[in-house]
Amino acid sequence: MRAGAGALALLMAAGCSATSTDQDGDGPAAKAAITITPMDGARELPPELPITVGAVGGALKSVTVRAGGQPVTGVYSADHTQWRSDRPMAPGVSYSVTAVAAAPGGGTVQRSSAFTTKRGTTTFGIETLLPSKQDTGLTVGVGMPIMLTFDKKITDRVSVERNLFVQASKPVEGAWHWYDDRNVVFRPKEYWPPYTTVRFTARLSGVRGAEGMYGKQDYVRDFTIGRSQISQADTQTHYMKIRRDGKVIQNFPISAGMGGVWRHYTTSGVHLAMSREDVTVMTSPDAGPGDAGYYQTTVYDTVRISNSGEYVHGAPWSVGDQGNSNVSHGCINVSPSNAKWFLKNTLIGDPVIVRGTPRKLEPTNGWGHWQESWGDWLKWSRLRGDISQPL
């Protein structure tokens, strides 16, 4: 905020000003001036700058700004001595500004300005945005992150991140986390409060993503957090307790990864339900037909919890081991009837917490975003954490 105020002062000092009397015919006016930034007649302006208008010796009565004929919105300061556009200018656009100020002694002064921005060489947008209606449904679990993948590499992460807004009907503290130059994820510090309505807005139109590259459009996504359902699978006791809104509603006997080799341990940590599948064909990841350790198995009623092939699924062949032994290749085996219940009653984004194995879930394995502490999560945010805006 301090840096922004300093930049605003510099911009206004460099802007056009006018001192006039009674241009509207209302009688003698006290000396007044209007400053407009950018300057009148400027060309090839950097699009990422805002438009600012100030009144000296009076207060702004009106500010009208148009971009290619379309109105541009902005906000006044509390004393109406300053106006600032809501967002930066767009590339390759002609702007016009007309401002009217009232002087304390009566009368008005008017000032106009026109300028253009330079064109961008390319544009960027969002390639995938989750949650989505088709991939996750729009009612999701309390662990569900907001995940963006851009279609181009982003080098100006600050400009992009400051234009990503999260509104919620119940306040949450959260932050964005950049995994690389194309993927950024929002996660609350704690799980979402159940039954929260959320709106995500990406105001990217005209926003600088890299040198000469600007956002091509805005995006809005509304979704709802459902009831709280958190499953805790203990590979030592061989049971998985399922709590809904804090109350235990199921306690399934399970069989987890047999271990012996590293890939056959179930990963410990906070997983999220990533997909629900009626039928899944599982194939050994490191052995082909005829090789030792090769397998191909069709399983039913599956809930995916990682990218390394871990599911909660029905396993009729291991019912006798469920509740007493770990015999799987890494999945969480449950009975066919329990698998049907779990598939039906799970929302995408529901936490599935696994305990008791030496192999830890990596933060980049599927949606392992809750594996990072809040301090570590903030290290990869450009703007750090903040409270969600009210919805």
Q: Which two tokens stand for residue 84?
A: 């600032």
**What distances in angstroms separate CA 226 from CA 22, 139, 230, 383, 390, one per listed residue?**
60, 6, 12, 28, 18
175 φ/ψ angles, rounded to the nearest 5 degrees: -160, 155
Cis peptide bond N-terminal to 50, omega within 30: no
Q: 289, exposed or middle or buried, with CB in 10 Å at 0-12, 13-18, 19+?
A: exposed
Distance CA 284, CA 290 (A): 12
Q: In this structure, are residues 75 and 83 in contact, taking their beta carbons and an 8 Å threshold? A: yes
**What distances in angstroms separate CA 264 from CA 100, 256, 293, 351, one per listed residue?**
72, 9, 11, 21
Kindly give, in sequence order, each residue whose CB lies less than 8 Å from that of residue 289, ignoring residues fewer than 6 positions away: none
End-to-end CA distance of the chain: 23
Could you list the active site residues? 313, 331
Length of the chain: 391
Q: Which two tokens stand for residue 179?
A: 């995994």
Q: What is the DSSP string of 18-54?
A: EE-S-TTSSS-----EEEEESPTT--SB-TT---EEE
Which residue reads 């039906």 in tokens?
Answer: 344
User: Ramachandran region of residue 109, left (φ > 0), alpha (ψ -120 to 50) or beta?
Assistant: beta
Kindly give, in sequence order, each residue whose CB lies less than 8 Å from that of residue 153, ignoring residues fewer than 6 positions away: 181, 182, 210
Number of neighbours of residue 337 by Cβ within 10 angstroms = 13
